[in-house]
Amino acid sequence: MDNKRTASLLGLAQKAGKLKTGEGAILSAIRSGGAKLVVVAPDASDNTRKIYRDKCSFYGVPIREALPRETLSRAIGRSNRPAAAVTDEGLSSLILKSIETQ
């Protein structure tokens, strides 16, 4: 598994200002249509994963479980982040490809 590419792409999205973190910001991005992809840590709580799964399913936003919480947090330079929403179409497709080839 090559989590490094996924982590570096998420870091790039953060630097470019194309990433939302924090439950309120992510849910808002999903509802507004701004989220192009939601990445959730597989070690996030069951409740957290369910919230994002249900919202993404309802609004038709792709969601993937990838990168443990610690790796995800480190990649985006924030502490204790179990999820992130990518708001850029191009970056989200690169991240999706990276996750699916792990």
Q: What is the pLDDT of residues 53-67, one digit of tens each?
A: 999 999 999 999 999
CATH of the domain at 78: 3.30.1330.30
For CA atoms 71, 68, 61, 91, the dihedral sign is: positive
Domain with 7, as residue range(s), is: 3-100
What's the domain count of the chain? Answer: 1
From residue 51, alpha-carbon distances to 15, 17, 40, 55, 60 in Å are 26, 24, 11, 6, 14
pLDDT in tens, the chain (102 residues): 468 999 999 999 999 999 999 999 999 999 999 999 999 999 999 999 999 999 999 999 999 999 999 999 999 999 999 999 999 999 999 999 999 987
